[in-house]
Amino acid sequence: MKIAVIGSYGAGLTMRVPRLPVAGETLSGGRFASGHGGKGSNQAVAAARLGAEVSLLTAVGADQFGTAARQLWADEGIDATGVRTTGAATMVGVILVDEQGENRIVIAPGALDDLTPADVEGFADRIAAADLVVVSLEIPLPVAVAALRAAHERGVRTLLNPAPAVRLPDEAWRWIDVVTPNASEARVLTGLGPEDPATGDELVDLIRARHAGTVVLTLGAEGALVDHEGQRTRVAPVTVPRVVDTTGAGDAFTGALAVALARGDALTDAVRFAAAAGAHTVGIAEVIPALPYPDDVAALLRR
C-alpha cells in the first residue's frame, strides 16, 4: 500500500482546561503540553502506523518545530524528502480542550502559505507511484486543487478530507474520488449556513449534486453515512468508555480509511475500520500518542 499525503504540518500547543473561557476571561488551572500536529502530518502518521508506505508533501520552517517534525517522520518511517523548508515559521496551532474532550483551535499557517502548485509538480513521481492520494485543506487551496488534479491525470484515486472546509472550485469535484466531510464541513461545501436545517441524508444529497464519486459523511456519535453510486449505507459508530480528547479523531479516521481503501477493503468495511481508528484516538490525550496501531483497531472491532 503506497499513500501520498499532501497537507499540513504544525506544532500543536495544547492547554487542557476545566471549561472553555468566555470572551474577555482569563482562566487559570490549565495543563499545558506541546506536540506534533497538522492534518497532513497526522494523517500520514496514522496511515504509516497502520501499515502503509507513506510519502508526504508539506512545508516547515528552519526552526525547532521544523527540526522536530523531520525527526517524527524519520521515526515513523515516512518519506519526507518532498517536504519544503521555507523562510517562514513552522505552522503553530493553539488548542484548548475542556473536561468533556471538546476542543477549540486557532492556527497560524506560517510556512504552509509558501507552498505552491509548483511544489505539487515536484512531488509528481510520488503521486504517480501511489495507490491513493490524500489531500486536506490546511494548505493553500490552489495547492490542494493541483494535487487532486495531478493524481486524477495520472490515474491515481484521490481522497479529500475537506478540513478546514472551504468552497471548492467547481472543476475540482471531478478530480475527487472520495470526499469525507463531517456535518459542519458539508454545510460549507454545499453553501448552507450554520442555521439552515439539514439532515445527514439531505447533506449527502447536496454533495451528490456536485460530486459523482463516493461520499463518506461522518456524524460523530451517530456513525457515518456512506453513498456510493446511489447506494446509501449507514455505518454504526464505534464507541469507547470515555472521551478524553477529540482533537486527532478525524485525522485517524482519514488515515485509516486511506489504508483500508488502498488495500482493497469493501467500502463499508473500510469505513468501519476508519471509525474504529477514530474511536481509539478520542480515548487518549494528545494526537500522536493516540494514533492507533493495527492491534488497537482490531481490539475495538472485536468489541
Among residues 98, 251, 295, 296, the one annotated as catalytic is 251
Q: Is 227 part of the annotated catalytic residue set?
A: no
CB 136 within 8 A of CB 266: no
* Distance separating alpha carbons of residues 250 and 180, to the nearest angstrom: 9
Give 47: exposed, middle or buried? Use CB within 10 Å, 0-12, 13-18, 19+. buried
Torsion angle defined by CA atoms of residues 60, 65, 67 and 73, in that order, rounded to the nearest 10 degrees? -80
Beta strands in the chain (DSSP E): 2-6, 10-16, 31-37, 53-57, 59-61, 84-86, 91-97, 103-108, 132-136, 157-161, 178-179, 214-218, 224-228, 231-235
| Residues that are catalytic | 251
